[in-house]
Amino acid sequence: MVYVLIAIAMLFIIGPIVTMRPSAKERRQARIRQAASERGVSTTPISLKTNKKLNHLLQRNPHIEKYHWFRYQLVAKEDEPSPSITGEWTQRKDRDGTLVWEAADIKQQEPPLVAELIQLWQAQQNEDFLKLELTPRGAAIVWNERGDVAETEALCDLLKKLMQS
């Protein structure tokens, strides 16, 4: 009987400690966010329900709600180059279920690198990316963080290339 009470007491002590350990998914996310941070890329979670710019996408594309979205953004420092063209491109599903990318403004120009990237993502029908943004001070990609450090490093390199477009 004493051993049963000791075992129960140990479960009450060890149980909360075990549940506080990060899961494999949380450890992977910490690795990829640290890799991004080491390259000067900031990460911000995006709530599609509260984000005014992306909420309309959620209404037209309910399939994107199953992911957690994050903005990976690289901002130019004082002496660094920044994009020469500003613009926003978002991904959505058309009536046939095909993923298509469209510009926020039909008059906006696409730098060759952006056109190449969008063409690649559209050919792959990759749901991992939701939005591409070029601003006067930086470049950002909204994605669902599927992948690992290698994908994050490639994404950070892509953001650096976009800064020079």
Name the residue ranges covered by the structural domains of the chain. 24-163
Contact 149, 32 (CB under 8 A): yes
What is the length of the chain?
A: 165
Instruction: Give the global pTM.
Output: 0.81
CA distance 139 to 159: 6
- 101-117 residue pLDDT tens: 888 888 877 888 888 98
Mean of the per-residue pLDDT values for the chain? Answer: 86
- 120-150 residue pLDDT tens: 888 888 888 989 999 888 999 999 998 889 9
β-pairing verdict for 87-93 and 99-103: antiparallel
- 147-156 residue pLDDT tens: 889 999 999 9
CA distances from 152 to 5, 51, 124 (A): 49, 24, 18
